[in-house]
Amino acid sequence: MVNEGLVSDQAGAWVIRSCPGVGWRKRGWGCQAEHREEGSQARGGNERERLSKRRIQPVPHYRAMAQPRACQEQDCLREVTLSTQRLRVLPPAVLSNPALESLDLDRNKLRSITGISKLGNLKKLIVSKNEIVDFPNEIQSLIYLEKLELNQNQIRVIPEGIFCHLPRLKHLRLNNNRLGALPRDLAACRGSLQYLNISNNLFRTFPHAVLQLANLQELHVQNNALRQLPRELFQGQSLKMFKANGNPLREPPSEVCAGGIQQILNYFNQLQDGSGQEDKRIKTMFLGASLAGKSTICRSLKQRQAKLVPKEERTVGIEISEFRIEDFTFLFWDFAGQLEYYMTHHVFITPQALVILVINLHMYQTNDDAFKDLVGFWINNLFMRVPNSVVLPVGTHVDCCQKQEVEEKRSNIMAKIAAMLAERKSNLTHFINNLEDSEEPEVYVDQWERLKEMESCTLTILDLVAVNCTDHRDIKKLEATILEHVKNEELFPEVVRVLPPVYREVEAAIVDITQSEEMADHGMMDLQYLLSELSQRDHLANLDRELLQDILRYLHRIGLLVWYEEIKHLESTVFLQPTFLITTFKLLVRDRLVQQLESISVDTLIAEHATIRDRSNWVWAFKSKAMLCHQAVRALVKYQLFSEGMQDIFEEIMGDKTHRGKGKLFSLLEHFELCLEVRQAKALNPQASEFVPGRTWETTQDQSESWYLFPTYLNQTEEVAEVWGGDHHEDLHIRTYFSPEIPEGFFHRFLVKSCSFYSTHWVAKATCLLVCNGKPLLIKENNQRAYSYLELRCRKPAGATAFQLAWDFLMAGVFIIQKLSEEWPGLHVCVKTPCRTAGCPAELIWPDMDGKTPMTKEDVKTCGTCGHRFGAELLLPKVPRQPETAPAQPPVHYYVTSYGTTTFGPSSIHVTRQNITSE
């Protein structure tokens, strides 16, 4: 009786017999809905039960991953795939086949691969996602090895004397282990090794053997503890791709590394000329509710005295200023606390900064609501956006409180923040345990690893400092506290950066230009003009464009200026005043926009060739559909700029009307997915170009007027509900859960992104309906505390082809969500399928996607809670097997790159804008 392992079926092809566990599980996928305690109590018993059942249960076998290239006769089988088989030892059947050239053991439970030396002909060995602690020494016998993957194990040390026997090794993955060093003899692979991944390990110093790998093309060292990179690494010709983010780098600083190999090389060349200078700099973000005292603290610290901000002088957007204490340069970012800015703030909340969370103690009450509004909201956002930040809570208005009151409120705030941290930790632990306790933990390795990573990096909350901003002694005290913290290398390993002198010189010159009289308020400058201005200065006469771009890239990353080289329309514009961006956003994303529309002056209307009646129409369209036509936007922006005395930049930010050029405003709004451009078209365009997979899809320029949808202002829901026609019990539906919550503006951005891919759509507040191939997909947002998800639904398809289309469509939605969520590194997103039995609370967690469709080996899935059985294709993107299958299609890969490009398998669509077609 074989439970697991290789047997041969009549046809002579290899199959794996195993127990997919159909029909008997008490703790099938339904257990996810159970309470944690019950789960852990039941664990031991169920393990036994599972094992015994496994012996006696007659089970349907399934074909292991097809072996397309294996030859038909067993004795010359070259390739074996045994992933996700729960193997604890290598099956003897595998080891008895010395001709084997490729063995995939991914996602098993192997602690060792004893016997592997018998497979002396192996070229490819994959043992990723297992439980290996000790490096398998037998690998030294695999002298023909070209590809070796040992990632996602627990390996701490690799002994000498292995790699010197592997002169053909081209590809080596060791990421996600616990390595701190590499053996010296890795250098023996110098002629062959092209790809090396040692990311997510514990390297503190760069492994020197790597420098000898003369043919290395791709190197990953992300998420280690590296401080310094050797110059020699970049001097060879071979390296094409290098990733080092997530290291506390000083030399070169991570902002330089992010610029790519060429910039790193330039950096080292610059360092050669003069010695590097240590620059100690820290971005400091002031966050907190309106009227907390952020601007007051900011100004008082800068001027070294109590400096009260008059009440009417509200911060608009963000104010940025630079200031020094001792040899530290602080870049203060003072954020406005009003709700209207939350949509855009996250863009500017960046990692590795000191966060000063300001709380007005006089206003604060020791109840939950006050905490949530004044503190909790910000902590949650920091969790999601910059999960390993350091936060210094500062309580203000101490002078308006009793002494005892201050103490009471301080301990209340600190206790509640601690409770939030504990809650997050326990949530993450709960998710981790759910995956570990599931029937198939091996299919969740990637999700598990990501959760573990989130669990290990959390906010550092410093002790609350209570101050009276009107008293300069308190300001002094606060200054001392801040300084003490930023000097702590444990807290801020990246404060010190080694920079070539020219970086500092250019920065100083730019600050000088920014503050000069001639400089316009908006601070926008053409790159070429900036270069000519800078190179007029004697000491910068040799500055060339490439070096300037390197430095701008660095200054952008540290937050001193803004340069979006990746936005086509903005690549030659440098924003010397980053705050101007907020001013720009605020022209269209702000509260009371309707009133602004209504008050556009008659003069402005006339200048834009519009009438009062047009204005009423604009208001009506905006109120009912959250849409503005191009003319309305122009008039609105013009009116607001004129009333703020900034008329001179109108053409520049709105574009030239006669050429229908796109102004900077829309490039920005589009980049941040704050609005969607739609065109009202009457019918399909007969001249439209054909879509050819793999080729860019040029859309024809439409002459009709552009409309812009601002999802933030959507309010009605009826229309979408009507087109959709209500949920049916039979629908395919999945949910992507968000923890701790769906970030502010996330759904709106999802809407903009997905509607630009699917030209036929209906949108509403918190829901939208997309149409593809005539089939609708409904997406609904539900953002309740501890129950935040987006639900994706489509009608139950008929037949295999329709299933394929339906799941492709759903998967595209899932991938857009995942792509977006990458901007919130502390956000946990998990895809689940609710049980299809009415009233059953169970949900199936999706397996890891590995960049492709989640797979299940089973054809039938059983709910562990209600016991009902379902065809797997109703729950996961699995298309039912047809009796006579056509030649296998290449696997479909879904890939959403960035705004405008979506890839499905070999085909890739680049969408600039599609037209709305009337159906």
Ligand X SMILES: Nc1nc2c(ncn2[C@@H]2O[C@H](COP(=O)(O)OP(=O)(O)O)[C@@H](O)[C@H]2O)c(=O)[nH]1
List of residues contacting Mg ion (CB under 5 A): 294-295, 315
- Alpha-helical runs (H) found in 228-260: 254-257
Q: Which two tokens stand for residue 327?
A: 């040899």
How near is the Cβ of 441 to Zn ion at its closest, in Å?
21
Contacts with Zn ion by CB under 5 A: the residue count is 7
When CB distances are held under 5 to 8 angstroms depending on the partner's kind, the choice from ligand X, Zn ion, Mg ion, none that residue 247 binds is none
When CB distances are held under 5 to 8 angstroms depending on the partner's kind, the choice from Zn ion, ligand X, Mg ion, none that residue 400 binds is ligand X
> How far apart are the C-alpha atoms of 341 and 336, rounded to whole Å?
7
Among 65, 866, 911, 916, binds Zn ion (CB under 5 A): 866
CB 172 within 8 A of CB 148: yes
> How far apart are the C-alpha atoms of 152 and 130, rounded to whole Å?
7
Task: Tell which positions 285-304 bind ligand X, by CB under 6 A.
Answer: 288, 290-296
Provide the greatest CA pair distance for the chain.
Answer: 89
Interacting span for ligand X (CB under 6 A) from 4-12, 37-45, 283-291, 778-786: 283-291
> How far apart are the C-alpha atoms of 613 and 605, rounded to whole Å?
10
Q: Which is nearer to Mg ion, 210 or 291 (CB)?
A: 291
> How far apart are the C-alpha atoms of 425 and 162, rounded to whole Å?
40
Among 357, 600, 863, 874, binds Zn ion (CB under 5 A): 863
> How far apart are the C-alpha atoms of 758 and 537, rounded to whole Å?
52
The number of residues in the chain equals 919
Helix-helix angle 545-558:501-515, to 10 degrees: 80
Q: Which residue in the block uniquely carries the two structure tokens 């692979």?
A: 189
Helix-helix angle 579-588:630-643, to 10 degrees: 130
Sketch the per residue contact string, 326 through 365, with ligand X: x for CB under 6 A, - otherwise: -----------x--------------------x-------
Q: Is 93 in the site for ligand X (CB under 6 A)?
A: no
Q: Is 837 in the site for Zn ion (CB under 5 A)?
A: yes
How near is the Cβ of 291 to Mg ion at its closest, in Å?
8
Among 399, 405, 453, 614, binds ligand X (CB under 6 A): 399
Residue 166's nearest CA partner among 211, 198, 104, 122 is: 122
Q: Is 579 in the site for ligand X (CB under 6 A)?
A: no
| R_g of the chain, CA atoms, integer Å | 30
How near is the Cβ of 152 to ligand X at its closest, in Å?
45
- Alpha-helical runs (H) found in 709-799: 718-724, 746-757
Which DSSP helix (H) or strand (E) runs through 200?
A: none
Q: Which is nearer to Mg ion, 293 or 559 (CB)?
A: 293
Interacting span for ligand X (CB under 6 A) from 36-44, 92-100, 395-403, 624-632: 395-403
How near is the Cβ of 313 to ligand X at its closest, in Å?
7
When CB distances are held under 5 to 8 angstroms depending on the partner's kind, the choice from Mg ion, ligand X, Zn ion, none that residue 293 binds is ligand X
| Interstrand relation of 390-396 and 460-461 (parallel, antiparallel or unpaired) | parallel
Helix-helix angle 612-625:630-643, to 10 degrees: 110
How near is the Cβ of 444 to Zn ion at its closest, in Å?
20
Interacting span for Zn ion (CB under 5 A) from 258-266, 497-505, 538-546, 838-846: 838-846
Interacting span for Zn ion (CB under 5 A) from 265-273, 480-488, 751-759, 861-869: 861-869
Which DSSP helix (H) or strand (E) runs through 233?
A: none
Q: Which is nearer to ligand X, 394 or 863 (CB)?
A: 394
Contacts of 678 (CB under 8 A, 6+ apart): 627, 706, 707, 708, 709, 755, 913, 916
How near is the Cβ of 334 to ligand X at its closest, in Å?
7
How near is the Cβ of 573 to Mg ion at its closest, in Å?
27
Q: Which two tokens stand for residue 167?
A: 């002169």
CB 127 within 8 A of CB 105: yes
Among 311, 613, 659, 729, binds ligand X (CB under 6 A): 311
Q: Which two tokens stand for residue 241?
A: 């791709």
Among 308, 316, 457, 606, binds ligand X (CB under 6 A): 308
Q: Which is nearer to Zn ion, 16 or 842 (CB)?
A: 842
When CB distances are held under 5 to 8 angstroms depending on the partner's kind, the choice from Mg ion, ligand X, Zn ion, none that residue 863 binds is Zn ion
> How far apart are the C-alpha atoms of 742 and 740, rounded to whole Å?
7
Residues that bind Zn ion (CB under 5 A): 835, 837, 840, 842, 863, 865-866
Residues that bind ligand X (CB under 6 A): 288, 290-296, 308-309, 311, 315, 337, 358, 396-397, 399-400, 468-470
